[in-house]
Amino acid sequence: MAEKKTSKATASTAKVKKKARKNIANAVAHILATFNNTIVNISDEQGNTIAWASSGTAGFKGSRKSTPFAAQLAAEQCARKAMEHGVRSVKIYVKGPGSGREAAIRSLQAVGLEITMIKDVTPIPHNGCRPPKRRRV
């Protein structure tokens, strides 16, 4: 019979280091509101991500991710993370047709961030791809 090789599993503890506190006063918030989810990303003006959150990370699953309330909680969560890094004012870029657009903008304002600009950057086709067929419910 062949000898059994027993390997000793060494428990290596991964050291998780705390994110260094960046001192960024002005930031850019990108809100992607699709029909199924809302993703909020706050970055510095060079595009380096400071904080992000989505309806899924806020604890929602399935069809509840597409609600305005889920978008509101995700935006609040993201804004609080960003404010720990010193963010005070944001420019907002909104993309997509989802129901969480307005709720996310309002909650960023309610948390205490100063909004300097809101711009809609939803891509509009010049008669590009054929859209999905209309639902008949």
Pairing outcome for strands 89-95 and 26-33: parallel
pLDDT at 19: 63
Spatial strand order in the sheet of 26-33? 49-54, 38-43, 26-33, 89-95, 114-120
> In this structure, what token pair is assigned to residue 23?
């001192």
pLDDT for residue 21: 72
Predicted structure pTM score: 0.80
Calpha distance 137→134 (Å, rounded): 10
Residue 13: pLDDT band (50, 70, 90) is confident
Specify which residues 79 forms β-bridges with.
none
| Residue 118 reports pLDDT greater than 60 | yes
Question: Which pLDDT band, with edges at 50, 70 and 90, does 15 fall under?
Answer: confident
Domains annotated for the chain, with CATH where assigned, are 29-120 (3.30.420.80)
Q: Which of 40, 41, 38, 33 is nearest to 97 (CA)?
A: 33
**Kind and range of the H or E run holding 49:** strand 49-54
